[in-house]
Amino acid sequence: MTKKIVITGCTKGLGRALVDEFLALGHTVIGCGRNPEAILDLRFGGHGASSFDVVDVTESKKVELWADRMLTQHGAPDLLINNAGLLTPPAPLWRQNPADVARLFQVNLVGVVHVIQGFVPAMIERGSGVVVNLSSGWGRSVSGEFAPYCASKWGVEGLTRALAEELPAPLAAVPLSPGVIDTAMLRQCYADGAADYPKPEAWAKVAAPYLLQLGRKDNGLALTVPGF
């Protein structure tokens, strides 16, 4: 059965890998990202009913307008994946750039709220759907020099578990750690050591089917993509 899937941060890394895999499986993807060139590439990729737009999730009004347009065009999504995220350069907390930290929280946490507020009321009205907010291993543990990122992902965990208590059955909300994958973000953390980990494309072949089978049985559970 074809599903409608919303993905934020769809132009690179895990988001783009998921887009490609979901499209290959025949699903409709409604994606957003901040890179205009990458969005144009997706738009002109011949992906049928799928839609891709330049949207900054930190801008609540723009997210609202985008969500309204997508709901009119596609209806409520079956799966909503909050994937957009940032990482500040590694440094002790007292040396972190305040503007970078503020931006990180706006994308990693506040942006998740904006997208949920844009799409979830329609999912509730229809009576079905799953919200997946991408967390991290650092949303359940910590690492020095990455305090803002850890804090934002701990926030995603708490926000998602609280949302899970609010959603009526059979809807579900899941905080999902993707595991450790060789992305540009991981290279900020591990430098060349990131190459020892699986590529996003290999991850998505496991992650996409896993995401598609999530449901009320998983509501509020802190999950990790198997094998990663």
Band (198; pLDDT cuts 50, 70, 90): confident
- Domain residue spans of the chain: 4-209
Three state DSSP letters for the chain:
CCCEEEEECCCCHHHHHHHHHHHHCCCEEEEEECCHHHHHHHHCCCCCCCEEEECCCCCHHHHHHHHHHHHHHHCCCCEEEECCCCCCCCCCHHHCCHHHHHHHHHHHHHHHHHHHHHHHHHHHHHCCCEEEEECCHHHCCCCCCCHHHHHHHHHHHHHHHHHHHHCCCCCEEEEEECCCCCCHHHHHHHHHHHHHCCCHHHHHHHHHHHHHCCCHHHCCCCEECCCC
Mean pLDDT of the region 52-80: 98
Given the residues 149, 190, 197, 210, the one annotated as active site: 149
Q: Which of 1-15, 93-107, 180-194 has the lowest mean pLDDT?
A: 180-194
Report pLDDT digits (tens) over 169-184: 999 999 999 988 875 6
- Region of 10 on the Ramachandran plot (φ > 0 left; ψ -120 to 50 alpha; else beta): alpha
Three state DSSP letters for 8-19:
ECCCCHHHHHHH
pLDDT: is 48 or 107 the higher one?
A: 107
What integer pLDDT is reported at residue 145 of this predicted model? Answer: 95
4-209 CATH: 3.40.50.720
Whether the per-residue pLDDT at 105 is higher than 80: the answer is: yes
Is 197 annotated in the active site?
no
What integer pLDDT is reported at residue 191 of this predicted model? Answer: 63
What integer pLDDT is reported at residue 181 of this predicted model? Answer: 80
What integer pLDDT is reported at residue 131 of this predicted model? Answer: 99
What integer pLDDT is reported at residue 180 of this predicted model? Answer: 82
Mean pLDDT of the region 130-143: 95
Asked if 212 and 79 touch (Cβ cutoff 8 Å), the reply is yes
